[in-house]
Structure 1
Amino acid sequence: MTDARRQLQRGFSHIDTWVFDLDNTLYPHHVNLWQQVDARIGEYIGQFLDVDPVEARRIQKDYYKRFGTSMRGMMTEHGVSADDYLAYVHRIDHSPLKPNPAMGAALERLPGRKLILTNGSTAHAGKVLERLGFGHHFEAVFDIIAAELEPKPAPQTYRRFLDRHRVDAAKAAMFEDLARNLVVPHRLGMTTVLVVPDETQQVVREDWELEGRGAPHVDHVTDDLTGFLATLAASAA
């Protein structure tokens, strides 16, 4: 990081609200839980459009990049029902997730509110948090339904979130695994943290999903969210 970038980097001493993405953020990338969802999305698209797996995969990834989620693309281009889509793609095995008491302890010690902002569903978030064992530390989950089916990184989604939960963006921090989803939060005044793979385990991600570590809208980068939060909690004590 350059000296100029370091001087512009936002800190945490003023933060009173901690906002977290869910998938690949609150649990390690290498769990590859999202790989199951990813496969279910491809199956759904293939069945709905009656196309082969290769074409379904192409459409899935094209819509993901262009619309923020494949679901939004399928809704916009093909009139898919969000309820049917979400019920199908989130029907996965959550057992690879293990309890993380260390992160729970760090979250408990962080001063202020904790919220989740996810492009997934509340039902999926509930299952993830139950497995991780620290869902009780979060005040609320703002999901794709609350976002009126408009996913991150749509600017209006962040505004809806901030308004609904009365969050002052200038006093909030946002944790995300996709750099593009931090552009708007940073513009709104939030301190931004990009959560990246620890590079010791194999992860299943697109190349573009792993980009952005040096982007100007990324204030901090960590490959160990538990340790990062523990350090923040200790410094706030």
Structure 2
Amino acid sequence: MIDLSRARVWVFDMDDTLYPREQGLMALVQARINAYVVEAVGLAPDEARVLQRQFLDEHGTTLAGLMANYTIDPEDFLEVVHQVPLDSVEPNPRLAEQLKRLPGRRFVFTNGARGYAHRVLDRIGIGDCFDGVFAIEDGDLTPKPAPAAYRRMIDRFGFEPRDAVMFEDTPRNLEAAKAFGMATVLIGDGHGKPIGDHVDHIAPDLLDFLTDLTFKDQAA
């Protein structure tokens, strides 16, 4: 059994964390991002994919890379790339039960757009499980893994990082969380990226991980 009974704040990435990667939603978003880059930059699709991966590595999101190197309308970008159907995302009432069982407060911290985040959470059936959602707009378009994004999120929700646990599918997005003092949980295989000692726990599936948590030693 995994004991995180001291945790009083639970911070969750959304895409490929609160639903399984196999449901394919991010592939739809990535396809729309690629199409946007093709049109905005004037590259062939293969070249656009290479640039997109470069922006992700260097800036954290394609949007941040585009804003640093080209003149684009970020609001238009966020609107266009998140216009994806949610049919592949399955409602998960068992996840809702486990989230509501967690002691303390629960938040979503996503590089996605605010409206998109609420659509996805409602589709899964967990929109009422959280005390707040921190989307890319809330960080003035500064994304994870920039430490400034974490500081804004922590300040917005007003918690002590040492009381928090963060769940993510991207290993490097847990580096700043660990540096601030949070416990860290990687969901999935890390997309083939290096997994360092800043990751405290690795779990193939979020629901299974939460189900296995024990709070028997939790203080009153």
Deviation at 1:209, TM superposition (A): 3.3
Question: SS of 1:114's equivalent?
Answer: strand
CA deviation profile, 1:101-152 (whole Å, cap 9, x unmatched): 1111001111110000000011111111111001101011101110111100
1:191 corresponds to 2:183: yes
1:117 corresponds to 2:98: no
Cα distance in 1 for residues equivalent to 2:63 and 2:3? 35
Question: SS of 2:139's equivalent?
Answer: coil
Deviation at 1:211, TM superposition (A): 2.2
In the TM superposition, 1:8-157 aligns within 5 A as 12-157=4-149
Asked if the contact 1:63/1:70 (under 8 Å) is kept, the reply is yes
CA deviation profile, 1:171-199 (whole Å, cap 9, x unmatched): 000000000000011111100000005xx
1:174 corresponds to 2:162: no
Specify the alignment match of 1:228 in structure 2. Answer: 209
> CA 1:41/1:235 → structure 2, altered by over 3 Å: closer, same or farther?
farther
> CA 1:186/1:50 → structure 2, altered by over 3 Å: closer, same or farther?
same
Question: SS of 1:149's equivalent?
Answer: coil
Deviation at 1:210, TM superposition (A): 2.7
> CA 1:209/1:80 → structure 2, altered by over 3 Å: closer, same or farther?
farther
Runs of 5+ unmatched residues, structure 1: 1-9, 198-207
> CA 1:76/1:114 → structure 2, altered by over 3 Å: closer, same or farther?
same
How many residues were matched structurally?
Answer: 217
Task: Give the fraction of aligned pairs with identical amino acids, expressed as a percent.
Answer: 39
Cα distance in 2 for residues equivalent to 1:50 and 1:209? 28
TM-score (norm 1): 0.88
Deviation at 1:79, TM superposition (A): 2.1
TM-score (norm 2): 0.94
Specify the alignment match of 1:212 in structure 2. Answer: 194
Asked if the contact 2:4/2:215 (under 8 Å) is kept, the reply is no
Asked if the contact 1:15/1:172 (under 8 Å) is kept, the reply is yes
Question: SS of 2:137's equivalent?
Answer: coil
Deviation at 1:236, TM superposition (A): 6.7
Question: SS of 1:35's equivalent?
Answer: helix
Superposition misfits of 4+ residues, deviation over 3 angstroms? 233-237
Question: SS of 1:145's equivalent?
Answer: helix
Runs of 5+ unmatched residues, structure 2: none
Cα distance in 1 for residues equivalent to 2:141 and 2:209? 31
Deviation at 1:42, TM superposition (A): 0.6
The residue identity in structure 2 corresponding to 1:210 is: G
